[in-house]
Amino acid sequence: MADRVRDAAAWGAVGGLTFLVLVQALELTGDPPLDTLGKFGLALAVAATTAAIAFLASPRLGRNESP
């Protein structure tokens, strides 16, 4: 069970950091959509959603792996 949680947390971190990279790319175009607190709040929500989806999908995806 600990492996599932660790893997889901890693995917959550990847999702949250990817969101922050995309927001930074949007800011480089000259249109800052959010303040700093809003960015991190949305990144936290994306990370939590990604982690939850990864946790719930891991048993089903694990059965699809080749030996």
Chain CA centroid to CA 51, Å: 6
Taking only the tens of pLDDT, the chain with its 67 residues reads 688 899 899 999 999 999 999 988 888 888 777 788 988 999 999 999 999 999 998 877 766 565 5
pTM, full prediction? 0.80
Return d(Cα 27, Cα 63) in angstroms, integer. Answer: 41
